[in-house]
Homo-oligomer: A and B are copies of this chain.
Amino acid sequence: MPVDIEATVIANERLSSDYSVLSLRAPEVGRRTQPGQFIMVKPVGVTDPLLRRPFSVFEVLRDATGNIAGISLLNKRAGRSTRKLYELEPGDVVSCLGPLGVPFKPVQAPVEAWMVAGGVGLAPFATLAETLSALGTPATLFYGARTAGELFYLEFFERRGITLALTTEDGGRPSGRPCVKGLVTVPLEAALQSAGPAGAMVYACGPEPMLEAVAGLAARYHQPSQVSVERVMGCGLGGCYSCVVPVKHGDEHANLVRSCISGPVFDGAELVWPSTSSGQGTP
């Protein structure tokens, strides 16, 4: 049951010139959210751009007494709406429709949880990490960014007992932590090669080529994967058919499936990728 509420901005912490964490007073959304779900967002009173924008719920926020008080978004400036969100100040109001979509399915020990995040693809993993840590599932975050300055919230994950495997494209490293130069798939593949007998569930969110590579690696090493895709979404509720991705069950023909209601999280083995698909419905 999604709700639509006018959420007041509690804080908007600028992490860099592109990233901010927007905290919103939205207890109704926070209480309902499962890891991997998203909301459709729009600053109140804004008619240009016309449509809402999809955002993963980043954190579920709690007040001093532990009650759920709201949510936060990890916002990266990409265009007009994300710039507006970046510029919001406490007291401004944002319309939040959600939570929406199919969440991640958490796993439990002895299966390990490997979360693979590229850039702003970190967003759905904060709530997943909370859940995994509550379940006591051994978990690793493979997290890649362009520079060390764009690796955020590392302590958040460490505090929840998540092992970090960091990469940067330029080889820079965040202070006091090991970090490998290159793509996030490098440490992931190393881990896959030495996976224990119980195996691991690979969770991924990030740029499309990364998702394709991660799903491919997981398949190659016979591990299951859950991949969160990003499509242009007009409505988030299954109304407009703008957000389709090609999905294939077993030997069936690929079908174009609405990622807002059948996703955004899909079984990585069932997604059809550009390089393997025959064209129609190619993202």
Contacts and interface: CB of A to CB of B under 8 A. Distances in A.
Interface string A30-49: 00000000000000000110
Contacts of A48: 47-48
Label chain A's interface by main secondary structure.
Answer: loop
Number of copies: 2
A47 B48 CA distance: 7
A48 B45 CA distance: 10
Contacts of A47: 48
A48 B50 CA distance: 11
Nearest to A49: B47
A47 B80 CA distance: 13
A115 B280 CA distance: 73
A234 B82 CA distance: 32
A138 B208 CA distance: 77
A50 to B, nearest CB: 10
A47 B49 CA distance: 10
A47 B47 CA distance: 9
Interface in A34-75: 47-48
A85 to B, nearest CB: 15
A45 to B, nearest CB: 10
A79 to B, nearest CB: 15
A77 to B, nearest CB: 16
A48 B47 CA distance: 7
A69 B47 CA distance: 34
Nearest to A47: B48
2 contacts: A47-B48, A48-B48
The 2 closest A-B pairs by CB, nearest first: A47-B48, A48-B48
